[in-house]
Amino acid sequence: MTNTWKNVLSAAVAAKWQTGQCFLIAQVKPLLTTHGFEVEALLEGRQMRIFLESEAPELRQIVNEEQPTNWGLVPPEATPERPHAQYFGSKTRRSTSSTTFPYQNALRTAFGRSLEDGLRRFVLHSPVRFVDLPNGAPNPDGVEVTRDDLAVGADDTTIVTHVTTWIGRNGLTAADYQPSRSSFMRSAKPQATALHDLIDMIEPADLDRIALPLDIVRKMLAKPGHSSR
């Protein structure tokens, strides 16, 4: 059988589906390039999704509902059930507590989301965010995330590895891309209420013998106080 690009892709899609996952469209170009195909010549200026719809319509395209720009391929005989996000590795990512991801969430998306052909991705700082710009557009004041840096559809552990490698390669400081704890600590401080003010005015020895109806307590808790506590 002739080793055409379609045969190579179909085999990869089938193999991936055997693991219960779709084959990411973002990985089609690297796959075909590795096998020696001139992808840009095949595309003829078309986006990969449009190209596949026209030239390989037998491969079904599905979208990750959690990341609408993330598309995948499944074999013709496949009958994926909804939500399709389960075939993109999203289930693993959701089960990972956000507190274990050491970087700001913008980096999780920047490194885990696919990048359309003809675009470049940059991470900006203060605040940390990312933008996708057309090839040839002026570079923003940020650091580029190349296609090799991406970990599309991967779990948090893999994405963290890619982000950490990217930070080291570009000589960046990891702390600049980690969540700020100061704002969390400020928001965690209890807000003073009228009830706090009342308690502060009562001598500690008298607290045990004073009782308030619950409706009064509720009203006082809802009313802002002036205490510095």
Q: What is the pLDDT of residues 164-198, one digit of tens each?
A: 899 998 998 888 998 875 444 444 445 567 666 66
Continuous H helices in 85-180: 90-95, 105-112, 156-169
Alpha-carbon gap, residue 17 to 154, rounded angstroms: 16
Quick one: pLDDT at residue 98?
41
For the chain, domain boundaries: 1-88, 96-187, 190-222
For the chain, 229 residues long, the average pLDDT of each consecutive 10-residue run is 80 89 91 90 92 94 87 92 83 44 90 90 90 89 92 84 90 87 45 66 59 69 61
pLDDT of residue 212: 66
3-state DSSP assignment of residue 105:
helix
* Nearest to 74, CA basis, from 4, 21, 3: 21
Cβ neighbours around 157 below 10 Å, total: 13
Whole-number Å distance between alpha carbons of 194 and 200? 10
Instruction: Say which residues have a Cβ less than 8 Å from residue 113's Cβ, sequence separation at least 6.
Output: 67, 69, 70, 150, 152
Question: Could you tell me the CA-to-CA distances from 125 to 88, 104, 130, 159 in Å, in that order?
Answer: 29, 11, 9, 19
| Statement: the pTM of the whole predicted model exceeds 0.75 | no
Q: What per-residue confidence (pLDDT) applies to 204?
A: 55
Within 10 angstroms of residue 202's Cβ, the number of other Cβ atoms is 10
Residue pair 150/119 in contact by the 8 Å Cβ criterion: no
Res 207: pLDDT: 54
Query: How many whole angstroms separate alpha carbon 177 and alpha carbon 145?
Result: 14
CA dist 118 and 183 (Å) reads 38
Beta-sheet strands, E only, within the chain:
23-24, 60-64, 67-74, 119-124, 129-134, 142-145
